[in-house]
Structure 1
Amino acid sequence: MGKVLVLNASYEPLNITSWRRAVVLLLKEKAEQVEHNGRILKSSFPLPTVIRLRQYVQVPYKEIPLTRRNVLHRDGHTCQYCGSKEDLTIDHVVPRSKGGEDAWENVTTACVRCNIKKGNRTPKEAAMPLTTMPRRPHSSLHFEITKHLRGGINEEWRKYVIGMS
């Protein structure tokens, strides 16, 4: 039946849960329904797609590891130089030989062709501008939500996620 976005009492995205768990939270009055997609669960009880907790929950910050998989996901599995989705690699914007670090802000997705063409230069030196400047992702939940949005599912979630509107 689908997944449900759970918002903290402050309207910050907290997690994604099953529709069954969301309905239990609503019935126990621990949450309120914010969005639904028009589907009806039972007479005049719309199936929720976004719920908000009534009590604020403190959430510890969790660092997202810098991995090839996470960089590819952040960049939408697309070369940030030409837009290709074939033969993808990871490129250091400022090459390591020039002091570039392994950091979210210095790695980006590039196809093999662009990576070779750029070589041991910065994008400016190679006259190859990036379509999107690399940045640290907001949260692991942000990653999970973008998967759902890229699939065209749960578009109503978009307005609750920073940088997705």
Structure 2
Amino acid sequence: MAKVLVLNASYEPLNITNWQRAIVLLIKGKAEQVEHNGKMIYPGMPLPTVIRMLQYISIPYKEIPLTRRNILHRDAHSCQYCGHTGDDLTLDHVLPRSRGGVDSWDNIITACVRCNVKKGNRTPKEAAMPLRKQPRRPHSGLHFEVTKYLRSGNHDEWQKYIIN
């Protein structure tokens, strides 16, 4: 099924919906089509891939839980030291817990078993193992969802609407 990125009136990502719901929003005049993939639903009506709401919708901030699954997704299922991808990934504290490190988005990364053991009870600087990407809190739950579709390569046109 074709998915459609729904933007707020301010062009911020708001939601991901199916193409049928997107067509209903367009027909009711609640949204406008921003991007399409060239496929036609019927003559003169291309299949949308991105729509924008005409009225601004206020959305409350929602905290993203700090879970293993979310950390793996944030780090693209790869070791933040060597870039290895696979099933043997672990979670590593940048500042080890034994030295005052806490469980937070800014202190936990994914690492392969080999790198995790090599780093041991040291900081990346002490172990001479620089991080490929500095860990940080994700922007939103929707950002997580959108990046899944972007990694699949099916919705490259969504990239320009996403804050990195």
Q: What is the number of residues matched between the two proteins?
A: 163
State the distance in 1 between where 2:129 and 2:38 align.
46
Q: Secondary structure at the match of 1:105?
A: coil
State the distance in 2 between where 1:2 and 1:14 align.
17
Q: Secondary structure at the match of 1:79?
A: coil
User: Which amino acid counterpart does residue 57 of structure 2 have in structure 1?
Assistant: V
> Which residue matches 1:120?
121
Give ranges in structure 2 of 5+ residues lacking alignment: none
> Which residue matches 1:73?
73
Give ranges in structure 1 of 5+ residues lacking alignment: none
- Residue 14 of structure 1 deviates from its aligned partner by 0.3
- Residue 44 of structure 1 deviates from its aligned partner by 1.2
Matched, 1:24 2:24: yes
State the distance in 1 between where 2:121 and 2:9 align.
48
Matched, 1:3 2:13: no
Could you list the runs of 4 or more consecutive aligned residues of structure 1 that deviate by over 4 angstroms after TM superposition? none
State the distance in 2 between where 1:85 and 1:161 align.
24
CA offset digits 1:19-49 (Å, max 9, x no partner): 0000000000000000001111100111000
State the distance in 2 between where 1:15 and 1:157 align.
12
Matched, 1:105 2:109: no
Q: Secondary structure at the match of 1:4?
A: strand
State the distance in 1 between where 2:38 and 2:107 align.
43
Matched, 1:129 2:130: yes
CA offset digits 1:85-106 (Å, max 9, x no partner): 1210000000011111100000
> Which residue matches 1:43?
43
> Which residue matches 2:157?
156
Q: Secondary structure at the match of 2:106?
A: helix
User: Which amino acid counterpart does residue 109 of structure 1 have in structure 2?
Assistant: T
- Residue 117 of structure 1 deviates from its aligned partner by 0.2
CA offset digits 1:51-76 (Å, max 9, x no partner): 00000000000000000000000000
CA offset digits 1:103-137 (Å, max 9, x no partner): 00000000000000000000000000000000000
> Which residue matches 1:141?
142
State the distance in 2 between where 1:2 and 1:114 align.
40
State the distance in 2 between where 1:123 and 1:50 align.
41
TM-score after normalising by structure 2: 0.98
State the distance in 2 between where 1:38 and 1:124 align.
50
TM-score after normalising by structure 1: 0.98
Q: Secondary structure at the match of 1:71?
A: helix
